[in-house]
Chain A
Amino acid sequence: MEASPALSYTSPPEVHPELHLDALDNLWFQVSGTLCNIACDHCFISCSPRNHSFELMTLAQIEPHLEASAALGVKEYYFTGGEPFMNKEMLDILERTLRYGPATVLTNGMLITPAKAARLQHLADNTRYSLELRVSLDGYTEAMNDAIRGKGVFKKAMAGVERLYAHGFLPIITVTKTWEDAEDEAVLQGFADLLKSHGYARPRIKILPSLKLGKEIARTQGYDRYEYVTAEMLEEYDCSQLICANSRVVTNRGVYVCPILIESPSARLGDTLEDAKRSYALQEQACYTCYLYGAICSNFSSGKRDA
């Protein structure tokens, strides 16, 4: 029997493999810090209305990084949190960003008021770049979703989705996987049917693996002691699948290697994008999830799984 790479060693590695930044293609902004209007069970950085570990970012803080990113040839911009629309300057930040390149916002959809949807449409119509909105849901029924994300969340999120659709967007519905592989098809179909019943006829759905960090550790069992990425595991592995091979994330506390690890001190690479071009040793257990699941953050989505 052949041991899988994950099981081929019996103690945590002493030296962690260094991963170089190939090119800074994707620049993330932790634009609402760790502040969110809700507090989901599985949130991998434990965001909530009171988690001030990372604060909201201002347009003035973001602007110099946009300028620096152009010189580095960045390809796409991503905005996350927390809930980006907690940030009062979010729409101005997007307007500025769309002068540089395409932008994607990861949102729970709940704060997208009619006025915000209208302004988003105006921004999207007045740039040659794509403005993508990814709306997180955790279930295709109110009961399933709200069990994880909190009471009343489903209705507000779906209202946001409907508004976006009415304003010319095709939001990408993002779902964190909390079910077994065998149920994949049924779950995707459930989401497709839900969206169609809300008038959204061209559903785009994206499944993310669940990261065992933050509150998710309490929800499931956390990582086994020896789940690390080792140098041997990276031989013959396409490292370009890892976010840290082509991305960095800017926060109000500096530039970090990736959005997943902002709470790990080792992941802070410096104050500027230039500082953050250095390599990073894959020393956290979350790196192991990335290793297994690859590019969890690009925009590619699934239509429906009827093939």
Chain B
Amino acid sequence: MMKKIALIGGVYSNYLALQETIKDARRRGVDAIYCLGDLGAFGPHPDRVFPLLSENEIAVVQGNYDHSIGNDLQDCQCGYTDPRDNYFAKISYDYTYANTSGENKRWMKALPPEIRLEMGGYRVLLCHGSPRKMNEFLWESTTPAHFLEKLCRDHQADIICATHTGIHWQVELPGDQHFANVGVIGRPENDGQTHVGYMILEVDPRPVFRYIPVEYDYRRLAREMQEEKLPEEFVETVLTGWWTTCLEILPAKERIRGKF
């Protein structure tokens, strides 16, 4: 029976952070590792992520990025509304699309939009944005508890795990139901720190989520991004921990905490 699992959010081609995260999770003795989608975007060499996933038997939920690349769509469906954000999104999308093998594209196309598990009697639902919409943003400051309760009701789940926003948070709901946004390992959380992070869910016998910060060689990632001619704005985020793009999707509270 599974008691302890690792939940990895958006990878965004950060294969260096993925290596460290897998090592960390193994050391903590997890029963299984799951990834909640968005394998590409932002970082360099998208194809380096896939062997790590298969070697470590990591089951993956389809993210909006994977859906877009897998289905040869024109853009990433990240839901940006600002022209500047879209400009940068397009650069990384075109780069990722051009550097992902046909085999990996087909593999991403076939990924499931959700994974369901049972842990100690709890119905666990893993999804990308939200259970109802792959690219829905669930931010801490704009997601009321009663809304999450409705998601649990509508989707027959006691525990829902998502990613997509890039910033982790969690909440316990009335009736022993739980929600966690597990964050991402693709880039830092807009808090001036260079680490990334993932979550461990342990059910023993009650569910507990723990956010685990992960250090990795971010200087090397930044160097490789520069070598691949990815935007300097992205490199700056890796080196400083502050977001320089995608700011317009942030709600007031999350935006104020950042630098830009």
A residues contacting B by CB (< 8 A) are 23, 69-76, 100-102, 124, 128-132, 168-170, 202, 204, 298-307
Contact = CB atoms under 8 A, between A and B. Distances in A.
Given A168-B256, A305-B83, A305-B84, A70 B146 contact: yes
A73 B146 contact: yes
Contacts of B141: 102, 128-130
Contacts of B254: 130
Contacts of A300: 81-82, 248-249
Interface residues of B, number: 30
A298 B80 CA distance: 12
B83 A75 contact: no
Given A169-B252, A170-B255, A304 B84 contact: yes
A130 B252 contact: yes
B82 A129 contact: no
B115 interface: no
Contacts of B149: 73
Interface of B: 81-88, 132, 139-144, 146-147, 149-151, 247-249, 251-256, 260
B248 A302 contact: yes
A170 B88 CA distance: 23
Contacts of A204: 248, 255
Contacts of A124: 252-253
Contact of B83 (A72, A128, A302): A302
Given A124-B253, A128-B141, A204-B255, 14 more contacts: A74-B146, A75-B143, A101-B146, A102-B142, A128-B253, A129-B142, A129-B253, A130-B141, A169-B256, A202-B255, A202-B260, A302-B81, A302-B248, A307-B86
A304 to B, nearest CB: 7
21 contacts: A23-B132, A23-B150, A74-B144, A74-B146, A75-B144, A100-B144, A102-B142, A102-B144, A124-B253, A129-B144, A130-B251, A131-B252, A202-B260, A204-B255, A300-B81, A302-B83, A303-B82, A303-B247, A305-B83, A307-B84, A307-B86
Contacts of A73: 146-147, 149-151
B236 to A, nearest CB: 15
Contacts of B87: 307
B146 A301 contact: no
Contacts, number: 87
Nearest to B149: A73
A44 B16 CA distance: 53
Nearest to B151: A73
Contacts of A23: 132, 150
Contact of A75 (B140, B147, B249, B252): B147
Contacts of A71: 146
Contacts of A301: 81-82, 248
B88 A307 contact: yes
B49 to A, nearest CB: 28
Contacts of A129: 141-142, 144, 253
B83 A307 contact: yes
A152 B83 CA distance: 32
Contacts of A100: 144, 146
Which 3 residue pairs are nearest across A and B when measured between Cβ atoms? A73-B150, A307-B87, A101-B144
Contacts of B84: 302-307
A100 B143 CA distance: 10
Given A102-B141, A303-B82, A305-B83, A170 B252 contact: yes
A70 B151 CA distance: 12
A124 B255 CA distance: 13
A169 B252 CA distance: 8
A298 B249 CA distance: 10
